[in-house]
Amino acid sequence: MNNPFVDLIIRIKNGYGARKDSIEVKYCELNLSILEVLKHNKYIHDFKLEGMGPRKRILVKLSYISGEPIVKGIKLASRSGRRIYTKVKDLKQVLGGLGMAVLSTPKGVVTDKQARKMKIGGEVLFIIW
């Protein structure tokens, strides 16, 4: 797969849809950075590395409140054939601040709020609410 983060996002979306406790995704640095952002913003409960060498995987523990998924929706922005880049002045709030956009910037993977605070733009990977 060209974009490992696309697989991560689809697995998270499907995992919540199927009410799974956890999911497994392929290891890569981008996935780790995205999962750090999601964990910090409480969209997932936790994650940990498993395996060694080329068989490294990431086990992601999903979060629920009273049996309802924390994540109500995820929408991919950038894909292999269509990259979405934005300047800091063009960043808009997701659902009036109830959701967030995740961006890949020169300073790493950050949320739209962090990007506005640091005054940097980048590639919009996905939005989550």
Domains of the chain (ranges, CATH numbers) = 4-69 (3.30.1370.30), 74-128 (3.30.1490.10)
The reported pLDDT for the residue numbered 117 is: 94
Residue with structure tokens 């697995």? 11
Given a cut of 70, whether residue 2 has pLDDT beyond it is no
Question: For 70-103, what is each residue's pLDDT tens digit?
Answer: 999 999 998 778 888 999 888 888 887 788 999 9
pTM: 0.90
Q: Alpha-carbon distance 46 to 43, whole Å?
A: 9
Q: How would residue 69 be classed by pLDDT, with cut points 50, 70 and 90? A: very high
Locate all alpha helices (DSSP H) within 18-101, ordered by sequence: 29-40
Please answer whether residues 112 and 91 qualify as being in contact, where contact means their C-beta atoms are separated by less than 8 angstroms: yes
| Residue pLDDT, tens place only, 22-49 | 999 999 999 999 999 999 999 999 999 9
